[in-house]
Chains A and B, each alone.
Chain A
Amino acid sequence: MNERPQGSPQKVHYGSGRPDNYQRRPELAPMSEAERARMEFFREIFEVGRRTYEKEAGDASTTQQRMAVRAVDVLNEVLEHPFNYFRHVQNVDAYARGKLGLDGQRVPIRNRMLRMFGNATVGAVATGIDWLDVRLIKTPSGEAGGPVRLQDRITFNRNQPGTESLFSYLVGRAKNFLHKGTPAAAAEAPAGGNTAAGLNKWAGAYGAGLEYILDEAVSAGADKMVQTLTKSRAGYASPLSHKLYNISRLIPVADEFLSPTAIESAFRIVSNYPVFGAPVEALYRYLNTQLGQGTPASKFAEGLAYSMVRGQIEHDKAMEYQQRQAEGEERGRNGMKRAQYLEGRLQSLELQAKVHAMNEADLAKAVVTGTVPDEMRRAVVDLIKAEETAKQARDVTAANQGTSDLSAAAPADDPEPKT
Chain B
Amino acid sequence: MTNPADYQNIVTQSKLLNEYQKQAFLDHPDELPLDFRQDIINLLMGFDERSKGREKEYGEGLTKVFVDYRAKLETLTGVSEEERARLLKEADELEKTIRLEVSQQ
Q: B-contacting residues of A (Cβ < 8 Å)?
A: 32-34, 37-38, 41, 44-45, 48-49, 51-52, 55-56, 59-60, 63-64, 66-67, 70-71, 74, 87, 90-91, 94, 105-108, 110
Can you name 9 A-B residue pairings with CB atoms under 8 Å? Answer: A32-B78, A33-B77, A34-B79, A48-B58, A48-B65, A51-B61, A56-B54, A63-B47, A66-B43
Q: Is A63 touching B83 in the complex (CB atoms < 8 A)?
A: no
Q: Which residues from 7 to 45 on chain B have a C-beta closer than 8 Å to any C-beta of chain A? A: 16, 32-36, 38-40, 43-44
Interface size for chain B: under 10, 10 to 19, 20 to 34, or 35 or more residues?
35 or more
B100 on the interface (CB 8 Å rule)? no
- Is A56 within 8 A of B51, CB to CB? yes
Chain A residues with Cβ below 8 Å from B57 are 52
B79 touches A33 (CB 8 A): yes
Assuming the contacts A59-B51, A71-B36, asked whether A37 and B69 have C-beta atoms less than 8 A apart, the reply is yes
Please report whether the interface of chain B is mostly helix, strand, loop or mixed according to DSSP: helix
A91 to B33, CA, bound (A): 8
| Interface presence of B72 (CB below 8 A) | yes
Chain B residue numbers with a CB within 8 Å of A51 are 61
Q: Which chain A residues border B3 with CB–CB below 8 Å?
A: 105, 107
Contact B46 A63 (CB under 8 A): yes
Cβ-closest 10 pairs across A and B: A48-B61, A52-B58, A41-B69, A105-B5, A63-B47, A34-B79, A44-B65, A108-B34, A74-B36, A70-B39
- What's the nearest-Cβ distance from chain B to residue A80, in Å? 14
A55 touches B34 (CB 8 A): no
The answer to whether A59 touches B50 (Cβ under 8 A) is yes
Contacts of A34 in B (CB 8 A): 73, 76, 78-79, 83-84, 87
Chain A residue nearest to B75 (CB atoms) is A37
Q: Mark B54-74, 1 if CB is under 8 A from A, else 0.
A: 110110011001001100110
Chain B residues closer than 8 Å to A52, beta-carbon distance = 54-55, 57-58, 61
| Distance (whole angstroms) from the CB of A388 to the closest CB of chain B | 99
Distance in angstroms between the alpha carbons of A74 and B38 in the assembled complex = 13
Q: Are A106 and B76 in contact (CB under 8 A)?
A: no
- By a CB distance below 8 angstroms, the chain A residues around B5 are 105-106
Partner of B76, one of A37, A55, A64: A37
Contact A70 B40 (CB under 8 A): yes
- For the complex formed, measure the closest distance between the CB of A144 and the CB atoms of chain B, giving whole angstroms: 59
Are A38 and B36 CB-contacts (below 8 A) given A33-B76, A64-B16, A105-B3? no
Closest to A48 in B: B61
Closest-by-CB residue of A relative to B48 is: A63
- Chain B residues positioned under 8 Å from A32 (CB to CB): 78-79
Residues of the B chain whose Cβ atoms lie less than 8 Å from the Cβ of A71 = 36
Q: Which residues of B contact A45 (CB under 8 A)?
A: 62, 65, 94, 98
